[in-house]
């Protein structure tokens, strides 16, 4: 059976753009407005999550977004404490290059029955953080990583291929929210050459040209967060770039 992201790619025939909204960064009403603006520009889904969120602000923000947009809402959880029923999907994810057992499997074990009972559709995802910044991003600071630097292409490919062979439905190559620069084109190409599952790329993407570069090198889904909070004209430029790329 084709998984959700692969199915969306197949149905659209173009690459996808997801907007990440961190409930810690604004009030639910403002988050809903942001989601609605991005949806009108053509974003394909709203992701809700962040490294420091809790069930209350995730729930309130997701509920407000659900009332304002028709696109799917995907929970992007930092822990079991972020699970809420006001979403359509959940990235059921493991931070593969963390050294913490908690992020590899324990949070998942704590949340799996709640996901089953809620009816939220899980999307199995291998989450891999690449360190591209001189100053560590929040996700790097809180996750105790087996560090993958920009020149560790072989190491990144081994992690990504492990995700595919585990049966995960997609991989997310993450530079961290607000990263100085995104995951490099070379890294994305190398992962694309080795994998058949969808590749999500996010962190530090701030303009249309960069987004296009990433899809041209093999990214299937572009995630942006910070730019949606800061510059609406840039988010439209990014979504247009992704939507114009037919493969």
Q: Using an 8 Å Cβ cutoff, are 199 and 192 in contact?
A: yes
CB of 51 to ligand 1GP, least distance (A): 8
Is the CB of 120 or the CB of 139 nearer to ligand 1GP?
A: 139
Segment lying near ligand 1GP (by CB under 6 A), choices 83-91, 118-126, 143-151, 199-207: 199-207
* Closest CB to ligand 1GP: residue number: 202
Give the residue among 130, 125, 135, 202 at the shortest CA–CA distance from 164: 125
> Could you tell me the CA-to-CA distances from 230 to 54, 64, 214, 233, 234 in Å, in that order?
23, 20, 21, 9, 9
State whether residue 123 is helix, strand or coil. Answer: strand
Q: Is 126 in the site for ligand 1GP (CB under 6 A)?
A: no
Does the footprint of ligand 1GP cover residue 179 (CB under 6 A)? yes
List the beta bridge partners of residue 121. 89
The span of 25-33, 58-66, 142-150, 222-230 binding ligand 1GP (CB under 6 A) equals 222-230
Q: What are phi and psi of 10, to 5 degrees?
A: -65, -45
Piece of the chain touching ligand 1GP by CB under 6 A; list 88-96, 187-195, 197-205, 232-240: 197-205
Which residue, 128 or 165, is less far from ligand 1GP as judged by CB?
128
Please list every residue from 7 through 26 that binds ligand 1GP, using CB under 6 A: 20
Class of residue 235 by CB neighbours under 10 A (exposed 0-12, middle 13-18, buried 19+): buried
Q: How far is the CB of 243 from ligand 1GP (least distance, A)?
A: 17
| Burial annotation 23-52 (CB, 10 A radius, 16+ → b, else e) | bebeebeebbebbbbbbebebbbbbbbbbe
User: 195 or 219: whose CB is closer to ligand 1GP?
Assistant: 219
What is the greatest pairwise CA distance in the chain? 44
Q: Which tokens hold the place of 66?
A: 């659900």
Name the segment binding ligand 1GP (CB under 6 A); options: 55-63, 113-121, 201-209, 233-241. Answer: 201-209
Q: Judged by CB under 6 A, which of 111, 126, 203, 208 binds ligand 1GP?
A: 203
Per CB under 6 A, which region of 1-9, 38-46, 150-158, 175-183 contacts ligand 1GP?
175-183
Residues lying near ligand 1GP in the complex (CB under 6 A): 20, 174, 177-179, 202-205, 223-227
């Amino acid at each position: 059976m084709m998984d959700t992201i692969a199915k969306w790619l197949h149905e659209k025939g173009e690459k996808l753009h997801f907007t990440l909204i961190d409930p810690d960064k604004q009030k639910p009403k403002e988050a809903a407005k942001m989601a609605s603006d991005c949806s009108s520009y053509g974003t394909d889904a709203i992701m809700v999550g962040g490294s420091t969120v809790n069930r209350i602000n995730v729930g309130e923000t997701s509920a407000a977004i659900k009332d304002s947009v028709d696109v799917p809402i995907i929970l992007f959880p930092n822990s079991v404490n972020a699970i809420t029923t006001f979403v359509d999907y959940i990235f059921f994810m493991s931070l593969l290059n963390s050294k913490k057992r908690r992020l590899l499997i324990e949070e998942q074990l704590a949340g799996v029955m709640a996901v089953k009972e809620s009816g939220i559709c899980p999307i199995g995802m291998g989450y891999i953080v690449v360190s591209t910044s001189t100053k560590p991003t929040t996700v790097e600071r809180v996750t105790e990583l087996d560090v993958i630097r920009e020149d560790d292409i072989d190491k990144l490919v081994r992690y990504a291929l492990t995700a595919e062979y585990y049966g995960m439905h997609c991989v997310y190559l993450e530079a961290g929210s607000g990263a100085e620069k995104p995951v490099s084109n070379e890294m994305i190409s190398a992962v694309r050459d080795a994998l058949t599952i969808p590749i999500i790329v996010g962190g530090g993407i701030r303009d249309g040209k960069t987004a296009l570069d990433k899809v041209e090198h093999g990214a299937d889904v572009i995630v942006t967060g910070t730019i949606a909070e800061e510059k609406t004209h840039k988010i439209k430029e990014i979504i247009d770039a992704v939507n114009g790329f037919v493969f």
